[in-house]
Amino acid sequence: MHLIDTRRRFMTHFASIGLGSTLVPGVLWARMQDAGTQTVTLAMVTDALQMSGIDLDEEDRKALVENANRNLTQIKELRAVHIPNDVSPPFHFSPVVPGLNVDRTRHPFRISKAPAVKRPANLEDVAFWPVRHLAELLRSKQVTSVELTTMYLARLHRYNGVLNNVVTFLDDYGLAEAKKADAEIAAGRYKGPLHGIPWGAKDIISVKGFKTTWGAEPFKEQAFDYDASVIEMLREAGAVLIAKLSTGQLAAGDNWFGGQTKSPWDPAQGSSGSSAGPGSATSAGCVGFAIGTETSGSILSPSSRCGLAGLRPTFGRISRYGVMALSWTQDRLGPMCRYAEDCALVMQAVARPDGRDMSVSDLPFNWNADLDVTKLKVGIIQSSFDELTNASAKANAEAMLETFRKLGVRTFIPITVPEAVANVSAINVESNVFFDEHQRAGRMKGTRSARPTGRLISAVDYLQSQRVRMMMMMELAKATAHVDAYIVASNSTGVGGPGGRPPGAPADTPATPPPPERPQTPTQRHSNMANLACYPAINLPNGFADTGTPTNATIFAQPYREMDIIALAKAYQDAAGWHLKKPVRLDS
């Protein structure tokens, strides 16, 4: 009991000083290093407490020595345990806050009416078709999956020298899957709109028997003996995997050990990241669709650069089993497509629990292609439009709103972005945990995670930051409660930006709080909040700049309201037709 009382007194003293919670352990560690020992002595504890301004009697200090050395033994034992990649902490993040209404009813899944399609003389003319159209070609047996797969593989090989978006070609694997799909379709066992459709996976997603490199030199020969859940689910739906597509190093940016992945709209520019390959390959008509991942902008940012309807789903929609982790409370997988409804077709196959990733909810993913968007209450963050400085982005954003008005979406309800309580993030701490074993084994040299900055944050401060995060989530929920979805304009025109990230696009690496002389704009503040609150969002290309690169907006909604944002994006695409444009510089 005395030791417990001592600990309480010790922590009370910690709380009474500014940096004491990290200073005492730091001083103890330094004294141990100076002494060349693996144990803590009374003199070390006395020195550390004095530096922290904490006054304890000798009995309490001796108890602390005993406790510290016991902890060191436990930590040593803990570090000797190999923890597999897909073991997450036994507590799970939820994007639902008190008062948030979530539709828990499963409705009939209604896709758009089958389009009238005809196989063109040159099959490559379908390379940019929506998945819904490709599916009808396959269902009506005007084309085989082997033919589609051969065509897309040929394009991947042809353009990889320019775009650098493939890590591993899966020609034999894909063709075998395509032959299987053709046999099933011929036998009348058609599985649905993904059956026979070629696709690509970001290379942090494990495929059994093939390398999963995480985009980093130290791991370029790495392979796992299991498939990620998303691989299994898409295989069950009949989709045909044809490539492992590039990711920025350890899921950051668009540079990987093979170089920089490029945008098809301007091959002199990076495709942004970290879902760089999925964005580039889908935009270039080299796959029917792709699966990317996002922790902080890594689907939305390359979708913006590459002009895609990329969907960042609500946290917990898709299993992350078999996928490299950066943050167990922020990581999401999502479809990157040319046409918004295609995202719904992919989500139908993968948005369900798998019994492995315990953060995945059992809430139904609903889709109705006939949803009347004029009945949606659509909001707007006006400050995002007011902040536009690029002339093309501004003109296209206003034209986009006019298109929505012509569709019958006449009221854009103002959204006021809440003030930030504080800058919070989970990425540094949680990614350091995931990579800890690799860090200790010396495998992280030369990578972005070579410096374990998360270790500078105490457990107390990390958990307090997550409580602040919850406060922020509650404030954002209040600010957006009166709308079904809302639109945010972007300055992004696919030009410039370090690491291949367009100016104004969401960061794809842990954000550094701006210095006092450069405070966040309301739009930047909202982007950070919506990401930390794990709101679903879809990128919406709304035209082109005079450089020939895409301009964009983003549609957001509260958690589990993907149907509303996909429906709005689909309605706009059907009216505006920007998704039908092809990147002409690709062949120049």
DSSP string, 85-147: TT---S-------TT----------BPPPPP-----SSGGGGTTS-HHHHHHHHHTTSS-HHH
pTM, two decimal places: 0.89
pLDDT category at 333 given cuts 50, 70, 90 is: very high
Which residues have CB under 8 Å from 312's CB, separation 6+?
294, 299, 300, 332, 334, 536, 537, 538
What residues does each domain of the chain span? 1-81, 123-354+372-418+472-587
Detail the DSSP E strand segments found in 212-338: 240-245, 255-256, 259-260, 262-263, 266-270, 289-294, 309-312, 332-337
Which burial class, exposed, middle or buried, applies to 173 when counting CB atoms under 10 A from its CB (0-12, 13-18, 19+)? middle
State the pLDDT at residue 91. 86
State the pLDDT at residue 578. 97
Q: Which of 45-59, 95-109, 494-508 has the highest mean pLDDT?
A: 95-109
Cβ–Cβ < 8 Å for 254, 129: no
User: What tens digit of pLDDT does each residue of 478-501 get?
Assistant: 999 999 999 999 987 643 332 333
What's the average model confidence in pLDDT over 56-72?
A: 85
Is the pLDDT confidence value at 533 over 80?
yes
Cβ–Cβ < 8 Å for 496, 534: no
- Measure the N-to-C terminal CA separation of the chain; round to a whole number of Å: 77
Is the pLDDT confidence value at 330 over 90?
yes
Is the pLDDT confidence value at 32 over 80?
no
What's the average model confidence in pLDDT over 416-422?
A: 89
* More confident of the two residues 499 and 550: 550
Give, to the nearest 10 degrees, the angle between helix 145-163 and helix 276-283. 120
pLDDT category at 505 given cuts 50, 70, 90 is: very low
User: What tens digit of pLDDT does each residue of 224-236 get?
Assistant: 999 999 999 999 9
pLDDT category at 9 given cuts 50, 70, 90 is: very low
User: What tens digit of pLDDT does each residue of 376-411 get?
Assistant: 999 999 999 999 999 999 999 999 999 999 999 988
Cβ–Cβ < 8 Å for 333, 310: no
Is the pLDDT confidence value at 46 over 70?
yes
Which burial class, exposed, middle or buried, applies to 579 when counting CB atoms under 10 A from its CB (0-12, 13-18, 19+)? buried
The backbone region for 39, taken as left when phi is positive above 0, alpha when psi lies in -120 to 50, beta otherwise, is: beta
Token pair for 161: 């020298």
Please state the CATH superfamily assignment of the domain spanning residues 123-354+372-418+472-587 in this structure.
Amidase signature (AS) domain (3.90.1300.10)
Share of the chain above pLDDT 90, in %: 73
* More confident of the two residues 531 and 20: 531
What distance lies between CA 487 and its chain's CA centroid?
19
State the pLDDT at residue 73. 83
State the pLDDT at residue 503. 33
What's the average model confidence in pLDDT over 547-568?
A: 97
State the pLDDT at residue 75. 77
Mean pLDDT computed over every residue of the chain: 89
Q: From CA 537, how far away is CA 557, in angstroms rounded?
A: 7
pLDDT category at 67 given cuts 50, 70, 90 is: confident
**Alpha carbons within 13 A on the beta-carbon side of 383:** 12
What's the average model confidence in pLDDT over 345-364?
A: 97
User: What tens digit of pLDDT does each residue of 253-272 get?
Assistant: 999 999 999 999 999 999 99
State the pLDDT at residue 421. 79
* More confident of the two residues 198 and 491: 198
Smallest CA-to-CA distance from 424 within 374, 475, 377 is with 475
Token pair for 25: 């352990």
Detail the DSSP E strand segments found in 408-509: 412-414, 485-489
pLDDT category at 440 given cuts 50, 70, 90 is: confident
State the pLDDT at residue 449. 66
Q: From CA 165, how far away is CA 385, in angstroms rounded?
A: 33
- Angle formed at CA 160 by CA 157 and CA 166, multiple of 5 degrees: 90
Is the pLDDT confidence value at 20 over 90?
no
